[in-house]
Amino acid sequence: MSTMTTRDGLQLYFKDWGEGPPVVFSHGWPLTADAWEDQMYFLASNGFRVIAHDRRGHGRSDQSWHGNDLDTYADDLAELVRKLELRDAVHVGHSTGGGEVTRYIGRHGGAGVSKAVLVSAIPPFMLKTETNPTGQPRENFDKVRAAVQADRTQFWKDLSMPFYGYNRPGAQVSEGVRDQFVFQSMMAGFPASYFGITAWSETDLTEDLRKFTMPTLIVHGSDDQIVPIANSAQRSSKIIPKAILKVYEGAPHGLPTTHKNRLNEDLLAFIRA
């Protein structure tokens, strides 16, 4: 396996396919780099070098008690970029991975990032507060924490339904997709599964978004039940200068899988533009 060692001694697994301009993918909670394989294969087949890592605590990477937060995730991404000597890379993040990309740009600067893509992403801020009245109440996230503690496997299985919009009338449910969601999710250790909830729900990324100077594509489903579009993509697109917002009507949170062909073509067109 391809791995790198972080500053605190953890081994992070990553995939590195193809040749050409680099495109770096950051996955969502609690998945792995495998969640991006449809897009990675497509872009590698079209002349790009594609890289995706399993975030610390997830997949094939080492698990740690500490560091399950967006600052550390962003620092790990910065180390991966340095290790692979990536220049002018396109950074693509889904869900929590979109938060990772956003914090990476905000914390480490946009140098070396030619373009950014946020897909079903958590920014700017998910938690409902006095200054963020359209966010979700803390009780929602407390229920997620309780479910992870009570029966993680069953929770992942249940979560796969709204994640891919399979709970909607007339949806064509793929049990294979649901199975792989549970499989990937169970590869995440308990600390990453539990503490990660605070990372993606309570991190305000508004100021990070203001530091975006590169062309940015924001893709979000209008029927995202996990990260509702009104408090995420619609707000982020107004904060990032000249951001392009593409709304997939009726699409769920897991649109890199359910709408993979459309997303592939949109990514290719944006990257080549």
Task: Just list the catalytic residues.
Answer: 95, 224, 253
Q: Residue 148 and residue 77: Cα distance in Å, rounded?
A: 26
Q: Residue 26 and residue 4: Cα distance in Å, rounded?
A: 16
CB 252 within 8 A of CB 162: yes
How many other CB atoms are found less than 10 A from the CB of residue 49? 19
Which residues lie across from 245 on neighbouring strands?
218
Counting DSSP H helices and E strands in the chain, the numbers are 10, 8
Q: Residue 193 and residue 186: Cα distance in Å, rounded?
A: 9
